[in-house]
Amino acid sequence: MILIGCWIKNVEIWTLTVGVMKERATFFQPNSLHFFQLLDEYQEDQPPWVKEEQEEVGTSQEGQQLQGFTFTLVSVKTEDDDEEKPQLHQIQDNDFKETREPQSGDVTNIKPLSCSVCKICFSWRQGLCRHMRTQTGEKPFSCSVCHKSFSRKSTLQRHMRSHTGEKPFSCSVCDKSFGYKSKLQLHMRSHTGEKPFSCSVCSKSFSQKGTLQRHIRSHTGEKPFSCSVCDKSFGQKSKLQRHMRSHTGEKPFSCSVCNKSFGYKSTLQDHMRTHTGDKPFSCTVCNKSFGQKSNLQLHMRSHTFRYQPLC
């Protein structure tokens, strides 16, 4: 059970009883921002009826002093996940249980609306409607480009950046831009050196949770990504994708000089040295240099295996 209090100046609260009844209240508990973030389940959206007005804190519009109160947020696990979920338009008003019991002249009894499936509570109907889509699976917001559907308008708006190329979140250190705030936050760790995710086996640390999960497979030997052609398995999805090119013949990496194509980026990089003359691999014995590591390895045999004449 989570007890959530809030402090907000003159909050507009819309609740449903017989029709829509508008009531005004002022709360005197801390952490108002966290209150709305937790109730809405997502941090980016705030309820449309929250308005701040230039009035004295602690006084209602009528000048009456109001008492603080605490909401109780209760989360109960769904009993049957396999049950067929109704569409949102099929859900009746009685599915949106309003737990408040209004009393004349007393706004301290206001309680949030609760989901009839999982009992999570919301303080406004719009938040509950959005939550109910997670129960019904309804996705009313569709992308006009690829027709992918989403349950939330804000998620669709973020998705549209993948088509428009918009990157509104910029790094203050290197000016690199990102389409999503979460990706900017991950990128910032490359500057700060923060690595909050540690391996419980070898204590190696990583900046991203996904990188840690892939690393763990090196200890467990798990290979969840299987080739549908030859049944070869891989620990990382990217390695499976590279492997599939050996079956499809796809060569997505092209040389900008001679237009020759390659199936792997590393092969293209090796090829580019034939144009640039770069030879980064040097022999530790005679200092002779090579453009490819494989050629260096072949050369090393000339030092290791000498011709021994027969007696």
Q: What is the CATH number of the domain that holds 215?
A: 3.30.160.60
| Mean pLDDT score of the chain | 71
Q: Does the reported pTM lie above 0.85?
A: no
Claim to verify: residue 113 and residue 36 sit in the same structural domain: yes
Burial state string for 35-65 with b = 16 or more CB within 10 A and e = fewer than 16: bbbbbbeeeebebeeeeeeeeeeeeeeeeee
Instruction: Report which of 143, 147, 173, 176 is spatially closest to residue 161, judged by C-alpha positions.
Output: 143
Residue 233 counted as domain residue: no
Looking at the structure of the chain, the number of domains it has is 3
Domain span at 35: 2-54+66-77+88-138
Q: Are residues 16 and 130 in the same domain?
A: yes
Same domain, 23 and 132: yes
In a domain, 309, yes or no: no
If pLDDT is split at 50, 70 and 90, which confidence band does 37 have?
Answer: very low
The pLDDT tens digits of the residues spanning 6-20 come to: 333 333 333 333 233
Query: Does residue 237 lie within any of the structural domains?
Result: no
Q: Can you tell me the mean pLDDT for 246-254?
A: 93
Do 19 and 134 belong to one domain? yes
Confidence of residue 30 (pLDDT cuts 50, 70, 90): very low
Q: Are residues 172 and 282 in the same domain?
A: no
Closest CA to 123 of 216, 5, 219: 5
Least confident of 177-181, 229-233, 273-277, 301-305: 301-305
- Residue matched to tokens 């009528």: 62
106-118, pLDDT tens digit by residue?
A: 444 555 688 888 8
Residue 266 counted as domain residue: yes
Asked, for residue 246, whether it belongs to a domain, the answer is: no
How many CB atoms are closer than 10 A to CB 123? 25
Chain position carrying tokens 């966290």: 34
* pLDDT higher than 50, residue 121: yes
Are 6 and 134 found together in one domain? yes
Annotate the chain with three-state secondary structure: CEEEECEEEEEEEEEECCCEEEEEEEEECCCHHHHHHHHHCCCCCCCCCCCCCCCCCCCCCCCCCCCCCEEEECCCCCCCCCCCCCCHHHCCHHHEEECCCCECCEHHHCCCEEECCCCCEECCHHHHHHHHHHHHCCCCEECCCCCCEECCHHHHHHHHHHHHCCCCEECCCCCCEECCHHHHHHHHHHHHCCCCEECCCCCCEECCHHHHHHHHHHHHCCCCEECCCCCCEECCHHHHHHHHHHHHCCCCEECCCCCCEECCHHHHHHHHHHHHCCCCEECCCCCCEECCHHHHHHHHHHHHCCCCCCC
pLDDT at 79: 40
In the prediction, which pLDDT does 205 show? 94
Alpha-carbon span 270 to 127, nearest angstrom: 55
Residues 156 and 120 in one domain: no
110 is a domain residue: yes
Average pLDDT on 102-107 reads 45
The answer on 128 and 50 residing in a single domain is yes
pLDDT digits (tens, 9 = 90+) for 199-216: 999 999 999 898 999 999
Mind listing the pLDDT tens digit for each residue in 125-167?
778 888 888 888 888 899 999 999 998 888 899 999 999 999 9
Whether residues 44 and 126 fall in one domain: yes
Q: Are residue 98 and residue 126 in the same domain, yes or no?
A: yes
**Domain match, 163 and 210 both:** yes
Does residue 24 lie in a domain region? yes
Whether 310 shows a pLDDT value over 50: the answer reads yes
Q: Is residue 82 part of a domain?
A: no
What percent of the chain lies above the pLDDT cut of 90? 40
In this structure, the answer to whether residues 285 and 170 fall within a common structural domain is no
Give residue 111's pLDDT: 53
